Structure 1
Amino acid sequence: MWEYLSKFAVSIVADWLGQFYIRKAIVQKVLLDNQNVPEFVMAFLPIMGPLYVSLNARQLVFLKNSFLFHDLYKSIFGSRRNLGQKPRPWQIDLILYIIHLAWFEIVDFIYLKFGYTCKNIEFLYLTNLFNNLIPLVLDVYAIHYREGNWLAYEDACMRCWSDLFLQFDRKNYKRAPIMFFSDIFYWMETGHPIINMIIDHLASLSDCPVELFHSIVRRHTTNSSTAQQLRSTAHLIYQQRHNNDFQQHFVHSVKYPYSPKQLWALSQKCAIEILEMFAKIYRAPNQNYFVIDSSNNINTYKLLSLGYEITDCHLLRGFVTLKKPDLNILCDSTYCNYSNDLSNESILAWGMVTIVIAYRINNLNVLFI
């Protein structure tokens, strides 16, 4: 092993803690020349685990919008059914997937009614959640990563960081993507061959097998197990890896509780409830919110039609900047003199509306989303 590590690099795909202590040891060796840190530590390349990016993103979306998800869950499964304060990951996936199916069915009707430049706070909150965040957290691992699409995965990770982890001040994971992209950009700039390996073999760099093994160990141990007991159990399970019982943990299939037809039926019930929410917003366009608190440039809003309390962090990126979108005018461009011209309008990903003609006149370029 020592000889191998002296010649080759080893990628360590791990969660925050799995990366943190390895990076700390590398810093101690490189910057402080700590002789207690062995040389082989320099062969390790810690990489942000995609599975934990997805899990943290989904959990964060649920926790920060739990009031909405609880209402939708009751409307879908019945008023007596409770989702719980800490639902299991498969329950979070289920409600997110049902909402995603429902939104896909009605999104065109919603924008046909409200238009693409509606700056109603309640409308922006719901559309940002349904149109941006939920598809993002569902696709970052299951689609972009597993199909090995580096460009899509890179973009999704960046959006998870900017729209979720950083915006909601997620512990640890507001920093993990920064370290990941710092390494990636450095390898790109220096032309390091590791970047080609990551791009070409993205799907093979997974922390899923390790997490599955950890799950098996947890099933055979208790919370009071000592470190030695955990180590012994892990060795025993690994030695039995060729036994049929061990393999069943990986190949045994569990029947999903809902068929595609049932999921479609549930999504239709969800779509009806979402349409009711937008109908409430449409009936009271001028009395939809008021600010109940403001601190550190972050406002807390009371949504009158929906009955929820949200902050600027629940909205598009523009609301967490020093210059927030102006809800009383159409165009947020400083140079625009055509605020009443509705013929060439478009809305940016960060929530600010601009008019194409304003940018043509001032010779400015902008990427429209």
Structure 2
Amino acid sequence: MEFLNIHDYDGRIQNQQELRIMKNSKLVDFILHPLHNTKDYIESANILFATFEKIEQKDYLNNFVIPAICDWPGQINLRRAITLRLNKKDNSGIPSQILSLIPMIGPLHISLNSRETLFQIYHFFFEMIYHNLFGENKILAQKPKPRLIDLILNLTFYGWKNVRNLIINHFGNTKDIEYLTMIDLLDNSLPLTLEIYTKLFRCGFYEGYLESIVKIWVLFQRLQRHNYNKAPLIFLSDVFYWTLNKHPIIDILKNNLPIFNDYFVENFH
């Protein structure tokens, strides 16, 4: 949490504000299509390739790559399609343009899933806070809307900041497991899930974001979050490979991190 304590991100986020403006996004087509398996994603990719042939030169995808920022199903199914193309080549029935896609797990999905997972695991605790704030008669669903989860987590975090020193001084170095569990939640897991996207990613702080991806993977693994206990590892594997081989994409990622964002698609939804 060192990065979160000693850096002021507000200026950096303000500098990247233009990257989140929807007017800079172009919707080239809107197609209703199921996305349940790899075949569906291949069909959708073919639509994308046909669109690029219309708006760009025909050999565009032979000279450029397209980062595909998506959720877990999008990432894993596109990677399966790429693997099939590499292994079976033309016999796969998958166009070679699929190799120009670079699937990446969306940072917004990482953030939303980490908040949801943390909320569900510690629901008993957040429910007590919710009742204390809004009344005992209010019912808190096991899986409320993301906006409500975000509200409760932020209220908890900023409330904890106000009383933290008092609590720490009172209990000292106690080794009680329940106490240490709550301290870990409030001091480590909670600020990590709240700030990995809203501050570290959005301000383009590459080193801090990369370190937080490692921490968020540990959190997903510890809380046994299905699929998302693997998604950060895939991203880290790609980054370490690009770094080791000095691939030019790593410099683009470092210098333009906020561009690799799934915000626009999710906001359109």
Normalized against structure 1, the TM-score is what? Answer: 0.56
CA RMSD of aligned residues (A): 1.2
The correspondence for 1:68, drawn from 125, 147, 165, is: 125
Report the residue type matching 1:196 in the other structure. D
Equivalent pairs counted in the alignment come to 212
What does residue 247 of structure 2 align with?
Answer: 192
Question: How many angstroms apart in 1 are the aligned matches of 2:85 and 2:186?
Answer: 46
Q: Which runs of 5+ in 2 are unaligned?
A: 1-52
The correspondence for 1:77, drawn from 125, 130, 134, is: 134
Matches within 5 A, 1:19-168: 19-33=75-89, 35=91, 36-115=93-172, 117-163=173-219, 165-168=220-223
Q: Which runs of 5+ in 1 are unaligned?
A: 216-369
Report the residue type matching 1:78 in the other structure. G
Q: CA deviation at 1:196?
A: 0.5
Kept in 1: contact 2:116–2:143 (CA 8 A): no
Question: How many angstroms apart in 1 are the aligned matches of 2:205 and 2:176?
Answer: 35
The correspondence for 1:179, drawn from 234, 258, 265, is: 234
Report the residue type matching 1:49 in the other structure. G
Kept in 1: contact 2:201–2:209 (CA 8 A): yes
Q: CA deviation at 1:172?
A: 1.2
The correspondence for 2:265, drawn from 197, 202, 210, is: 210
Higher relative strand content: 1
Q: CA deviation at 1:77?
A: 1.3
Matches within 5 A, 1:296-307: none
Q: Give the secondary structure class of the aligned counterpart of 1:31.
A: helix
Kept in 1: contact 2:115–2:193 (CA 8 A): yes
Q: CA deviation at 1:104?
A: 0.5
Report the residue type matching 1:186 in the other structure. Y
Kept in 1: contact 2:201–2:257 (CA 8 A): yes
Q: CA deviation at 1:181?
A: 0.7
Q: CA deviation at 1:32?
A: 3.5
Kept in 2: contact 1:16–1:173 (CA 8 A): yes
Which of structure 1's runs of 4+ aligned residues deviate more than 2 A?
Answer: 31-35
Q: CA deviation at 1:212?
A: 2.1
The structure with higher relative contact order (CA 8 Å, sep 6+) is: 2
> 1:126-175 CA distances to partner (integer Å, 9 max, x unpaired)?
10111111101100110001101011111111111102x11122111111
Kept in 1: contact 2:217–2:229 (CA 8 A): yes
Question: How many angstroms apart in 2 are the aligned matches of 1:207 and 1:88?
Answer: 19
Q: Give the secondary structure class of the aligned counterpart of 2:253.
A: helix
Normalized against structure 2, the TM-score is what? Answer: 0.76
Report the residue type matching 1:76 in the other structure. L
What does residue 49 of structure 2 align with?
Answer: none
Q: Give the secondary structure class of the aligned counterpart of 1:178.
A: helix
Report the residue type matching 1:195 in the other structure. I
Q: CA deviation at 1:34?
A: 5.0
Question: How many angstroms apart in 2 are the aligned matches of 1:167 and 1:126?
Answer: 15
